[in-house]
């Protein structure tokens, strides 16, 4: 449904609420009637535990584990996740609180957009989507899920791991990653990547191996790759056809030669240790990588 039509569906109710509040003005810290109205509306959402009396007339809603928060076309929400971080919820979003305990805070985003700012240690905050799970590595990001279940994550601080369907993508600040149902996360790339990178990676990530467009897509990625795009090429070492991985290896070896002891045959053979050692030599992360590997 178009957004304008969705808003129109709430027109009468929103008009009544606005007129009600305007007809009963109240001074700061004396908004008792308005406080009653807000508490009643939070209760109507269902699954929200309402707490009152904060700052005298303040109202706070607490989302219980297992319950869903759904915003309409004109509403937003902010979730304070205690010592973990903060999540801003955009209009037309459906979000569930799955788990909330010391070692794990997990949400499920089935549709819409959230903005997460997390200051907890890595691997404490998770967001499930229909096609991948976003795992916080100390970060700030925006995550969108469309009606098909596909997702787009844009990282603005730190790192995020995107996992699903046997794939794993590491996305740093300044980079984006996509995901699709049945395929999992795609290959990450920097937002300032050469023109056409996103479209070319979409072909490589989600098209069948015999798609005639794959050769041209890989040509574009490899010929225009910068040293900075080693992030993207490293991920491609474990994806695509054997012939495609050979081409990726050769180009990455020019941009960022593998460290001593890491051989072509080991990398192309899928040797995880060799591939990880090459990552270590790229100098992309700020120390979380070693903590991540220890936790595997």
pLDDT at 138: 77
Residue 296 has pLDDT above 70, yes or no: no
pTM of the model: 0.81
pLDDT at 12: 74
Confidence of residue 82 (pLDDT cuts 50, 70, 90): confident
pLDDT at 288: 59
Q: What is the mean pLDDT of residues 264-283?
A: 94
pLDDT tens for 147-197 read 999 999 999 999 999 999 999 999 999 999 999 999 999 999 999 999 999
Residue 2 has pLDDT above 50, yes or no: no
Burial grade of 100 (CB within 10 A; 0-12, 13-18, 19 or more): middle
Q: Domains of the chain: which residue ranges? A: 3-63, 193-296
pLDDT at 286: 61
pLDDT at 38: 72
Among residues of the chain, what percentage have pLDDT more than 70? 87
């Amino acid at each position: 449904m178009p957004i304008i039509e969705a808003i129109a569906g709430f027109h009468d109710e929103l008009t009544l609420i606005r007129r009600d509040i305007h007809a009963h003005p109240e001074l700061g810290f004396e908004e008792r009637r308005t406080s009653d109205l807000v508490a009643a509306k939070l209760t109507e959402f269902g699954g929200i535990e309402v707490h009152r009396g904060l700052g005298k007339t303040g109202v706070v809603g607490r989302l219980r584990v297992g319950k869903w928060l759904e915003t309409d076309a004109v509403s937003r929400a902010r979730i304070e996740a205690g010592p973990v971080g903060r999540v801003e919820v955009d209009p037309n979003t459906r979000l569930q609180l799955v788990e909330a305990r010391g070692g794990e805070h997990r949400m499920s985003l089935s549709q819409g957009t959230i903005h997460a700012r997390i200051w907890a240690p890595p691997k404490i905050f998770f967001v499930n989507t229909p096609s991948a799970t976003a795992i916080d590595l100390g970060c700030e990001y925006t995550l969108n899920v469309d009606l098909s279940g596909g997702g787009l994550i844009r990282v603005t601080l730190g790192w995020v791991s995107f996992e699903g369907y046997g794939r794993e993508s590491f996305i740093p600040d300044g980079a984006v990653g996509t995901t699709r149902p049945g395929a999992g996360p795609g290959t990450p790339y920097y937002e300032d990547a050469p023109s056409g990178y996103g479209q070319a990676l979409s072909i490589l990530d989600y098209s069948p191996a015999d798609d005639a467009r794959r050769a041209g897509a890989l040509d574009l990625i490899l010929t225009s790759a910068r040293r900075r795009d080693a992030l993207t090429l490293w991920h491609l070492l474990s994806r695509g056809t054997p012939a495609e991985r050979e081409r990726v290896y050769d180009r990455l070896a020019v941009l960022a030669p593998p460290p001593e002891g890491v051989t072509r045959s080991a990398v192309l053979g899928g040797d995880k240790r060799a591939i990880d050692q090459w990552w270590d030599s790229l100098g992309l992360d700020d120390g979380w990588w070693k903590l991540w590997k220890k936790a595997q």
